[in-house]
């Protein structure tokens, strides 16, 4: 028997890693490069005629319709700026329903008759592109042979130059629609839902005396969790390479139980990666703010500043692409799967949500006396109504095969969508329900007991990490989105349900005032009614407790545990009516999202099932059989020598080999029978048959990992991947 070369060579290669050279000038001033590769308002102001610049600013900041007449001037200035930055091509960047980023590159250069070429880029080209629409998920909106699709310039999200060692590219964020106008992307619904929410937020503000308020926008600050492992380990694991998560792997002797990784000292190699990524993000105008170790070994987090939701969504996609590229440069792989390692903390992408404008700031800031801040209370009550009525849509917006491994686990919120308000706001709304709020719990002071340390301000309420939708002081944090998902989906749902809730609030207040009711009295009546009808969604307790699902059911809250349970929410009659009323999706577009969700689930699990079958049969079973043979030969040798051999290990290994073989046969049969007519039926059958079969195979394989001789085990182990960096 010889030692397995792949795994042991990978370990040796990791230990021999040499850090890449520093890629920036150490003397570079902080902030010097921020936005340097962005065609920002500052750049436009310098390069555009004043009237053109004002027109563009009006569209960006006030949501006025884009004047097509300005496109040629913008395109010319954008081209000249990009050429100065070394760009040779331009790309209309869009976000198809794969969840990834798509782009088609075209050269600036056009040939002329004398054998030379000149750089051109017209307003028409800037505004509209035409990529093939037939090869992207469309959920039945397009036939395979119908290829035409259009990209449209989104002036709200700035163009940028993406650097590459072999040449730079001007990237223009765009929408992506079919020839018949249906949205084939994530950006278009974000813009539609944002517009719908703004209309009704303005109505509410006008009722509070704000004449002609600025356009209200949704803000988003997504926190990104991720894992880093060495590339040698990644390439030695076919499951990570193809599925993004480990389909096999025994629990390591030391996991996260010591709580010693969270906020710990950042390893030097990882810190180098972080500094490199942040510099690239800064050049692209992405406001990275916080970096730290996360709970699990090998897990980390980055958190940006708040931005307009549309731009934040674009930046999130760009951030993930940047992290992947820079990690490779550092000899590592960045893993965005929600649960790449079983038994340790999974990764989310917490979507911090607020709404407001430059004139009024955030509309979800309670102030020092929330009970007196009627405007805040109405907007907060709108959130309560929205989440209670449409929690199923919020759950559906984060549904995926990969996120199913995380939701409801010990590090993630449960699949039951509820709201945490904190002690102060919960008390205020409780007072409202009883007849009117008269006071708010005040901030306190923490006395530490050390003379040299100052007393610290104590917030009037604690945080709750088990809540999927938690108020955190000046915003709500939607904690259910998965780390590998676009934040566009959750933001579409939040904007849409907020449009409905604000519409309801504005209509109720307008009607009451028109009938002669005092405005403050009308507000009190509205708030009390919302608390009475929708207060069941407020839960400040432990979302991980065994009692909560029982209590949630009694409250009438949905527990959509899996993607298969959640996706039908997208096509319920209530959802179709909601989407249609606020112009976010037509019925065909809503059904397409449902169809694509089912299809993506089926494909993701199918890949994992086939990988489980392949790795189990060709890698793990042969290693176990070799060890079984080795044990059998040793037993025979001892018996031949007249000794009484201990057969317990051989019997245990032989039993697990038999279980593994039988499990692989069951899995193969389950895969062969998962071809039903309806997508939801297929997805349901896969969940109920294929996933349990995979779990049986894994259980036997993981137990064998703890028995088979180390020099025979073929796959890098958890303790190696998570701790050797």
Mean residue pLDDT of the chain comes to 91
Residue 444 banded pLDDT, cuts 50, 70, 90: low
Whole-number pLDDT of residue 1: 44
Least confidently predicted of 3-7, 306-310, 387-391, 427-431: 3-7
DSSP 536: G
In this predicted model, which residue has the larger pLDDT, 7 or 322?
322
Condensed to tens digits (0 to 9), the pLDDT of residues 1-40 reads: 455 567 877 888 877 777 777 666 767 776 789 999 999 9
- Per the CB < 8 A criterion, the answer to whether 37 and 70 are in contact is no
Task: Decide if pLDDT at 408 tops 80.
Answer: no
DSSP 64: P
Count of CB atoms situated within 10 Å of the CB of 372: 15
Whole-number pLDDT of residue 313: 96
Supply angle C-alpha 213, 218, 222, rounded to 5: 155
On whether residue 161 sits in a domain, the answer given is yes
Condensed to tens digits (0 to 9), the pLDDT of residues 449-493 reads: 666 566 666 566 666 778 999 998 889 999 999 999 999 999 999
Whole-number pLDDT of residue 14: 79
Whole-number pLDDT of residue 428: 83
On whether residue 26 sits in a domain, the answer given is no
On whether residue 110 sits in a domain, the answer given is yes
Residue 432 CA to residue 531 CA, distance in Å, equals 8
Residue 653 banded pLDDT, cuts 50, 70, 90: very high
Whole-number pLDDT of residue 66: 82
Using a 10 angstrom Cβ sphere, with 0-12 exposed, 13-18 middle and 19 or more buried, the burial of residue 36 is middle
Whole-number pLDDT of residue 141: 82
Residue 473 CA to residue 425 CA, distance in Å, equals 10
On whether residue 67 sits in a domain, the answer given is yes
Whole-number pLDDT of residue 10: 81
| CATH code: domain of residue 102 | 3.10.20.70
Whole-number pLDDT of residue 370: 74
Q: What is the mean pLDDT of residues 602-615?
A: 97
Task: Decide if pLDDT at 506 tops 70.
Answer: yes
Residue 320 banded pLDDT, cuts 50, 70, 90: very high
Q: How is residue 546 written in tokens?
A: 């065994």
Residue 47 CA to residue 35 CA, distance in Å, equals 16
Condensed to tens digits (0 to 9), the pLDDT of residues 542-567 reads: 888 889 999 999 999 999 999 999 99
Residue 199 CA to residue 505 CA, distance in Å, equals 13
Least confidently predicted of 60-64, 167-171, 556-560: 60-64
Residue 506 CA to residue 650 CA, distance in Å, equals 74
Residue 176 CA to residue 330 CA, distance in Å, equals 34
On whether residue 232 sits in a domain, the answer given is no
- Structural domain containing residue 83: 34-185
Whole-number pLDDT of residue 453: 62
In the three-class reduction of DSSP (H, G, I as helix; E, B as strand; rest coil), residue 149 is classed as strand
Q: Which run of H or of E encompasses 204?
A: helix 187-207
Counted domains in the chain: 1
On whether residue 68 sits in a domain, the answer given is yes
- With both helix axes pointing from N to C terminus, report the angle between 71-84 and 50-62 in degrees, rounded to the nearest 10: 100
On whether residue 531 sits in a domain, the answer given is no
Q: Whose structure tokens read 């250069």? A: 109
On whether residue 123 sits in a domain, the answer given is yes
CA-to-CA separations, 274 to 55, 307, 378, in angstroms, rounded = 38, 21, 41
Task: Decide if pLDDT at 448 tops 60.
Answer: no
Name beta bridge partners: 224: 302, 349
């Amino acid at each position: 028997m010889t030692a397995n070369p792949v795994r042991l060579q990978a370990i040796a290669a990791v230990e021999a890693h040499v850090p890449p050279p520093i890629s920036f000038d150490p003397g570079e001033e902080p902030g010097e490069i921020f936005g340097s590769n962005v065609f920002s308002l500052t750049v436009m102001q310098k390069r555009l005629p004043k009237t053109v610049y004002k027109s563009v600013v009006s569209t960006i900041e006030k949501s006025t319709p884009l004047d097509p007449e300005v496109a040629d001037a913008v395109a010319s200035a954008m081209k000249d700026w990009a050429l100065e930055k070394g760009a040779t091509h331009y790309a209309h960047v869009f976000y198809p329903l794969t969840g990834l980023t798509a782009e088609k590159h075209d050269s600036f250069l056009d040939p002329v008759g004398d054998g030379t070429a000149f750089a051109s880029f017209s307003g028409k080209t800037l505004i509209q592109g035409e990529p093939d629409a037939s090869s992207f998920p469309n959920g039945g909106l397009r036939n395979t042979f119908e290829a035409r699709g259009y990209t449209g310039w989104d002036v709200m999200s700035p163009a940028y130059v993406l650097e590459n060692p072999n040449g730079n590219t001007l990237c223009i964020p765009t929408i992506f629609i079919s020839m018949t106008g249906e949205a084939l992307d994530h950006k278009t619904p974000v813009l539609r839902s944002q517009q719908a929410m703004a209309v009704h937020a303005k109505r509410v503000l006008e009722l509070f005396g704000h004449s002609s308020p600025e356009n209200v926008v949704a803000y988003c600050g997504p926190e990104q969790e991720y894992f880093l492992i060495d590339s040698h380990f990644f390439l030695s694991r076919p499951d990570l390479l193809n599925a993004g998560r480990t389909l096999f792997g025994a629990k390591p002797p030391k996991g996260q139980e010591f709580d010693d990784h969270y906020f710990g000292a950042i390893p030097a190699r990882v810190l180098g990666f972080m500094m490199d990524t942040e510099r690239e993000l800064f050049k692209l105008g992405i406001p990275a703010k916080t970096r730290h170790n996360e709970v699990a070994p090998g897990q980390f987090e980055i958190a940006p500043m708040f931005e307009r939701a549309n731009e934040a969504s674009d930046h999130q996609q760009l951030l993930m692409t940047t992290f992947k590229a820079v990690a490779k440069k550092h000899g590592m792989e960045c893993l965005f799967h929600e649960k790449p390692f079983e038994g340790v903390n999974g990764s989310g992408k917490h979507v911090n949500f607020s709404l407001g404008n430059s004139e009024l700031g955030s509309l979800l800031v309670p102030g020092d006396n929330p009970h007196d801040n009627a405007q805040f209370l109405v907007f907060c009550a709108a959130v309560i109504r929205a989440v209670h009525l449409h929690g199923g849509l919020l759950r559906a917006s984060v549904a995926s095969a990969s996120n199913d491994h995380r939701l409801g686990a010990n590090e993630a919120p449960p699949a039951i969508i509820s709201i945490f308000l904190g002690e102060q706001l919960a008390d205020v709304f409780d007072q409202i329900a009883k007849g009117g709020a008269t006071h708010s719990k005040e901030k306190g002071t923490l006395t530490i007991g050390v003379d040299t340390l100052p007393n610290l301000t104590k917030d009037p309420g604690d945080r709750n990490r088990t809540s999927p939708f938690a108020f955190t002081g000046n915003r709500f944090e939607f904690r259910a989105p998965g780390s590998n998902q676009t934040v566009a989906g959750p933001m579409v749902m939040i904007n849409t349900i907020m449009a409905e809730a604000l519409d309801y609030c504005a209509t109720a207040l307008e009607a009451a005032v028109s009938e002669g009711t005092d405005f403050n009295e009308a507000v009190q009546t509205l708030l009390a009614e919302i608390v009475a009808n929708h207060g069941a969604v407020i839960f400040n307790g432990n979302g991980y407790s065994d009692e909560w699902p029982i209590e949630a059911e009694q409250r009438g809250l949905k527990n959509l545990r899996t993607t298969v349970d959640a996706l039908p929410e997208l096509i319920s009659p209530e959802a179709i009516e909601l989407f249609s009323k606020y112009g976010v999706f037509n019925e065909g577009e809503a059904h397409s999202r449902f169809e694509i969700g089912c299809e993506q689930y089926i494909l993701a699990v199918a890949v994992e099932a086939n990988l489980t079958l392949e790795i189990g049969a060709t890698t793990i079973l042969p290693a176990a059989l070799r060890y079984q043979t080795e044990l059998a030969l040793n037993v025979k040798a001892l018996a031949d020598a007249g000794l009484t051999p201990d057969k317990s290990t051989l019997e245990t290994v032989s039993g697990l080999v038999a279980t593994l073989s039988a499990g692989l046969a069951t899995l193969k049969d389950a895969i062969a029978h998962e071809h039903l007519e309806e997508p939801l039926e297929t997805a349901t059958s896969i969940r109920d048959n294929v996933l349990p079969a995979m779990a049986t195979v894994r259980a036997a394989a993981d137990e064998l990992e703890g028995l088979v001789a180390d020099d025979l085990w073929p796959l890098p182990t958890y303790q190696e991947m998570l701790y050797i960096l």
